[in-house]
Amino acid sequence: MNEDASGVVGPDSRVDRQNVNPDNDGFTDVVVSEGDRLPERFPNPGLPPHRYRSTDYDPVSAKRAERQVTGIFALSIVGSILFCVSYFVFPLEGTFISIQRSTLALGVGLGLAIFAIGIAAVHWAKTLMPDHEVTEERHDIGSEEDRLAALDIINEGIEESGIGRRKIIRNGLIASTAILPIPVILSLGDLGPLPHTDLRTTLWKRGTRLVQDPTGDPVKASDVTIGSAFHIIPEGLDEAEHPLDEKAKAVVLLVRMEPGVVVPRADREGWDVDGIYAYSKICTHVGCPVALYEQQTHHLLCPCHQSTFDLTHHADVIFGPANRPLPQLPITVDDEGYLVAQRDFEEPIGASFWERG
Amino acid sequence: MALVATGGLYTLFSPGEAEASAAAPPSAAQVKDGQALFEANCATCHGLQAQGSDAAPTLIGVGAASVDFQVGTGRMPLAASAQQAPEKEVQFNAEETAAMAAYVASLAPGPAIPTDEMVAAVSDPERMAQGNDLFRTNCAMCHNVVGAGGALTQGKYAPSLEGTTGTYLYEAMLTGPQSMPVFNDANISPEEKQNIISYVKQVQEQPSPGGLKLGSLGPISEGLFAFAAGLSALILCAVWLGRRSS
């Protein structure tokens, strides 16, 4: 520690705040508190010494900077000319390659034209324009008189508007703003009908055939060989009122696994047809289509957040943010040997929702 | 698990060999050659009678298409146990591959190697459009909408289809190598498989008028590029702006 005016202090120094003199507004004063050799105030170090640029004292250097700035401006002109020439040299002929050439040439030309002006301007300012630091003192904050004058203006406004005097107008203002939200709330009714049972039901019902997406061909149990994966929609999907809405709920992945790999579950007895299982393709996390099926591990991966479902354990979640297994669609075969649904899913498919329970 | 050797998916290697073997029906001599090659190169894992072992699946009934795909793309013989058998340098010539395919096909009926006509890309827009529909539903979730490939679980991946021949595309659909499900002819008919091949070929020939494709991986690679390259450029500009001239 030292006491001199430079006020160089170590990292452990502290200013004794109790001894700060409120009248002392000087920047350079150092007041040494009693019994403590720390300066009470640190001096304003001021601006660092001005460092002259080579362009300030060397005419050759200044001339060079001048040429550079002019050169970069010239580059911008080249860019503009390039743009204009390319506009005619690379006409759009409707082919991809002509679009690519034209876009590239026009972009390079215009980009160069604009970017070079910016570079030149900055380079000009940095090398040739004066760079002396200028200090402007902060203005004093308004005095008490200014504050009162401002208050007068506000009071005058209140007085002139008559809001304090003409109560009926004031009440009108309050009433009209209070009632304004009602039209807004009313228009929320247009957000659509309530979903009712839409979130809990799908197109699947007893006897609905499983058909292939997108061809619509029905699927025979014998077609589904071991290791196969079929992407399934319910028959008659196209006749639905909103086919895409229905598809988003009803899509199913149909797989056949080797005998014995699926760990049986008493309550799912009879839901499969000879090792052919149908699971909802809608992720129970946020509803992405889960369809990355690995036929050897029997894992089903959701591409959005990597939730992984194990089909050997009735689509239990083994990884990722999903919270529930994928719902299983109970299936059977009809008289002609085609796969059909036994009934709808027993639980709502897809992501959680408020009233899901 | 994945290291069992049903092999991999698609390939970048030249077609020639597979199509050559598709035409000629296998002779007894070819089967015999194939058996000799099999016993020397494959039987260690797949068993002397191709019955399979703890390390590798049985090859009885996998058909000539599996052999042609696995050996023709270099996935078999396996170089090392791993999550997935990668595509690598092809170890056997077309003749040897055809011989082994003939031998395996002689063990039990299985999917045959498709003919050139079955795998030729068609230019009919309607068929390509249907191929696109089928690809989107059945393939795109793993292989990406333009066949750029993508990640699966625990280090496995769906390889890129870039440059894969029609024959190998067809065989992969038919036999379902490794993690890939089987798409038999009842699921995706031969004509539909050809439509899919046509779509894949067509989409890969599409030029990219917007500039670099960045792997066709969608917003992720583009975002990374914007972050790494774009932001670096902006930071350099800002540093230059703030520096004093010398």
pLDDT of residue A30: 54
- Give B 151-210 residues with CB within 8 A of chain A: 152-153, 156, 158, 176, 178-184, 186-187, 192, 206-210
Model ipTM value:
0.78
Contact B115, B187 (CB under 8 A): no
Question: Which stretches of chain A drop beneath a pLDDT of 70?
Answer: 1-36
Token pair for A208: 């609905």
**What are A220's strand-pairing partners?**
A338
How far is Cα of residue B149 from the mean position of the Cα atoms in its chain? 10
Contact B98, B21 (CB under 8 A): yes
Indicate whether B169 pLDDT > 70.
yes
Please report the number of interchain residue pairs, chain A to chain B, with beta-carbon separation below 8 angstroms. 101
Burial A79-116 (b: 16+ CB within 10 A, else e): bbebbeebeeebeeeeeeeebbbbbebbeebeebbeeb
Backbone phi and psi for residue B171, each to the nearest 5 degrees, phi listed first: -65, -35
**pLDDT tens profile B62-120:** 999 999 999 999 998 888 888 888 888 988 998 999 999 999 999 988 899 999 999 99
Contact B9, B178 (CB under 8 A): yes
Contact A296, B178 (CB under 8 A): yes
Indicate whether B173 pLDDT > 80.
yes
Task: Return the closest-CA partner of residue A252 out of A190, A200, A180, A204.
Answer: A204
CA gap B230, B218 in Å, rounded: 17
- Give the single-character DSSP code of A238: G
Token pair for A333: 């075969």
pLDDT of residue B143: 93
Token pair for B172: 């992969």
Indicate whether B3 pLDDT > 60.
no
**CB-based contacts of A149, cutoff 8 Å, min separation 6:** none
| Chain A nearest CA to B241, separation (Å) | 7
The stretch B156-177 carries a mean pLDDT of: 93
- Judged by CB atoms closer than 8 Å, whether chains meet at B245 and A228 is answered as no
| Chain B nearest CA to A185, separation (Å) | 38
**pLDDT tens profile B185-226:** 999 999 999 999 999 999 988 877 777 788 787 787 888 888
Place of tokens 């790494």: B228
Task: Return the closest-CA partner of residue A303 out of B144, B224, B215.
Answer: B144
Single-letter amino acid code for the residue at A176? S
CA gap B136, B196 in Å, rounded: 10
**pLDDT tens profile B127-147:** 999 999 999 999 999 999 899
**Closest by Cβ to B207, choosing from A100, A212, A230:** A100
CA gap B130, B198 in Å, rounded: 10
Predicted confidence band at B36 (pLDDT cuts at 50, 70, 90)? very high
Residue B21: CB atoms within 10 Å = 25
**Closest by Cβ to B209, choosing from A103, A225, A293:** A103
| Closest-approach residue (CA) in chain B for A288 | B141
Q: Chain A residues contacting B, CB < 8 Å?
A: 51, 53-55, 96-97, 99-100, 103-104, 122, 126-127, 131, 212-215, 219-220, 222-231, 255, 289, 291-297, 299, 301, 303, 306, 308, 319
Predicted confidence band at B246 (pLDDT cuts at 50, 70, 90)? confident
**pLDDT tens profile B43-69:** 989 998 889 888 888 999 899 999 999
